[in-house]
């Protein structure tokens, strides 16, 4: 049986999720990257609910680039601030902290979120 890159990523994600958990005070910022888009969510794992979410398609004229990933991070940061959330736990979902994933985190930090 062939082990795909996505299966390896999911294995890493499960390993990280064993230690990372979001609460009402510090929700988990989860990032999902596909070939065409990016999406992020703030999740309260104690209640199993998504508090805030954002997708790349919400930004007018955005492409799947590093620069637009940073704009997405700023958008989720702005939405979080509107919901009085200032601290989060970053969940990279098994992706390397590099490129678009890093840009989302930096955009969220620039909007005022603390990791």
Going residue by residue through the chain (115 aa), what tens digit of pLDDT does each one get?
A: 688 999 999 999 999 888 889 988 999 999 999 999 999 999 999 999 999 999 999 999 999 999 999 999 999 999 999 999 999 999 999 999 999 999 999 999 999 999 9
Per the structure, the complete domain to which residue 26 belongs is given by 5-110
Q: Which residue in 82, 60, 59 sits closest to 72, CA to CA?
A: 59
CATH of the domain at 40: 3.30.420.100
User: In the Cβ-directed half-sphere of 6, how many Cα atoms lie within 13 Å?
Assistant: 4
Angle at 69 between CA 71 and CA 61, to 5 degrees: 65
Q: How far is CA 107 from CA 8, 77, 83, 98, in A?
A: 27, 8, 17, 13
Number of domains in the chain: 1
CA of residue 22 relative to chain centroid, distance: 12
Task: Determine whether 100 is exposed, middle or buried from the number of CB atoms within 10 Å of its CB (0-12, 13-18, 19+).
Answer: buried
- Domain-embedded: residue 99: yes
- Domain-embedded: residue 115: no
- Domain-embedded: residue 83: yes
- Domain-embedded: residue 105: yes
Q: How far is 88 from 3, CA to CA, in rounded Å?
A: 32
Residue 2: predicted pLDDT: 85
- Domain-embedded: residue 9: yes
């Amino acid at each position: 049986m062939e082990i795909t890159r996505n299966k390896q990523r999911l294995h890493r994600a499960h390993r990280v999720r064993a230690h990372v958990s979001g609460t009402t005070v510090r929700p988990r910022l989860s990032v999902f990257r596909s070939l065409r888009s990016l999406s992020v969510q703030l999740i309260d794992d104690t209640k199993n609910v998504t508090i805030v979410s954002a997708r790349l398609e919400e930004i007018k004229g955005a492409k799947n680039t590093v620069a637009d990933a940073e704009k997405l991070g700023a958008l989720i940061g702005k939405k979080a601030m509107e919901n009085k959330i200032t601290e989060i736990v970053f969940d990279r979902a098994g992706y390397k902290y590099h490129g678009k994933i890093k840009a989302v985190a930096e955009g969220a930090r620039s909007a005022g979120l603390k990791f």
